[in-house]
Amino acid sequence: MAQILDRLKAYGEFDIVVWGEETVLDEKIPIEEWPVCDCLIAFASSGFPIKRVQDYVQLRQPFCINNVFTQDIFENRMMTYELLEKYGIPTFRHIYADRRNGKKVNVKETDDYIELDGYRMKKPFVEKPFEGSNHNIYIYYSKEQGGGCRKLFRKVKNKSSEFFPHVKGIRRDGNYCYEQFIKGVKDLKVYTIGPNYAHGEVRKSPAVDGIVARNPDGKEMRLLTLLTPEERDIARRIVTVFQQNICGFDIIRTNGRAYVIDVNGWSFVKGNMRYYDKCARTIRKLCLGSISYRSQIHAPPKITRERVFRDGDNRHILLSLVTVFRHGDRTPKRKLKLKVSHAEVLWMFKNTRQEVKLKKRKQIIPFLKALNYLIHRLETSSSLSDREQLSSLRIVRSVIEEDRKGLKIQLKPRKIIEGRVTECLLACKWGGTLTRMGMEQAKFYAPVYWSEMLRGPTVNGRLTD
């Protein structure tokens, strides 16, 4: 979380106030005395008084990155599954043992299946407590599979589960979801950043042998994976249905399909700088968008005399600062040069003897027409030099027709006889344009540069060295 907050601070657009458990848990501090904010990041965990936060949101009406009123759902796996089912998000078949409010559950159990109030499920199946924060999850195996039970729990050193060969009976003292177990060696963890971006990581399933696979740094091994179109659509729907922009959930892949087995709420990738950058950018965009919408601010404030820094000695006024970053991620620069003495091209010098530069599409179209006439004529020529030049001219035509980014045509006079250009150098250049990654770098570094270089210490409103 600190990594994301540091990036938000670097933008220089937010005053970030963190008030933690000492404020939220202390009931002597009423919510009316909590800091007032425009945007709020709050996420529930075990023992966290989410009800107080909900009361605060009703009072102050801040924009919430993750809706605090739907976070109650994650504390009840039954409610989570019901919501997934309601909106058509794929899950494995499941049944419930709901003993709340003193309800009785009719249980029938054999070595190969259980039956709850008439609903039967064959082993192997997973037994999950209703409470989302309870990670004591059991897997029961059939007699044919050797029987027994594997108990999953939060990682303790290098263990995440343990097998008990003699445990056969399900738990009878609580509320549980029973889900069909599909054997697999990998779990897919998905982390969303808004509805349009999702990050996927694969880890070894704790159901395999209970031993946590770690890298040389001692961290759990997780491998990046590309999400399928179906999985990306699931991520988008989960963000929308649960109203949680930053959200983690678990998927099992089987037979070419993806099934959601858990939704965790607020969760983010650890140790991935690219993810932190993306997350901070998205939170920034969401916050600024909400503020703009509510205050109807759609343009920067006008420059007034009071806001302009004045140099009292020289009377110079700094209106703006333009900084050019010379290097960035870009496509390769390409160019092709050839000497041309054909009339179809030389007509471009009809009214000039200077270099001709063509950049705009409306300038290039007449040149393309002339080039087509020239290529058509050379295709019927028997001259060896014409045939050699033909292949280069075809490349130039192809680049123009494909409308390559960064396209520029230059015609430089080489020979002038009696005031007429008789030979020119044709240069076709393309590429060298900023890539998507380069654009993202620029978006990130611009506010950082502003924050670190321009918003330094001031004396009487003037920047110091």
Average pLDDT over the chain, rounded to whole? 86
Buried b (16+ CB within 10 A) or exposed e, 191-207: bbbbeebbbbbbbbbbb
Is the per-residue pLDDT at 465 higher than 50?
A: no
Residue 140's pLDDT is what?
96
| Chain segment 388-418, per-residue pLDDT in tens | 889 899 999 999 988 888 899 999 999 998 8
Higher-confidence residue: 44 or 304?
44
Determine the pLDDT at residue 457. 42
Round to whole Å and give the CA distance between 105 and 159. 33
What pLDDT, on a 0 to 100 scale, did the predictor assign at position 110?
A: 94
- Output the pLDDT for position 324: 74
Mean pLDDT of all residues in 89-105: 93
Residues 6 or more apart whose CB falls under 8 angstroms from that of 107 comprise 97, 114, 115, 116, 170, 172
| Predicted structure pTM score | 0.63
Phi first, then psi: give them for residue 335, nearest 5 degrees. Answer: -155, 155
Q: Give the pLDDT confidence of 318-366 residue by residue, as tens digits.
A: 667 777 766 778 888 899 999 999 999 998 898 888 899 999 988 999 9
Tell whether the model's pLDDT for residue 421 goes beyond 70.
yes
Give tens-digit pLDDT for 148-186: 999 999 888 889 999 999 998 999 999 999 999 987 667
Write down the pLDDT at residue 98: 94
Domain ranges of the chain: 1-71, 74-289, 330-436
What's the whole-number mean pLDDT along residues 444-465?
54
Average pLDDT over residues 421-440: 88
Residues 210, 215, 218, 221, CA torsion sign: negative
Predicted pLDDT at 448 = 67
The answer to whether 278 and 197 are in contact (CB under 8 A) is yes
| pLDDT of 300 above 80 | no
pLDDT for 263-283, tens place per residue? 999 998 988 888 999 999 999
Is the pLDDT confidence value at 252 over 60? yes
Mean pLDDT of the 290-315 span = 60
Segment 244-256 shows an average pLDDT of: 93
Tell me, what's the pLDDT at 464?
41
State yes or no: pLDDT of 65 exceeds 70.
yes
297: pLDDT strictly greater than 60: no
Fold topology of 1-71: Rossmann fold (3.40.50)
In CATH, which superfamily holds the domain spanning 74-289? ATP-grasp fold, B domain (3.30.470.20)
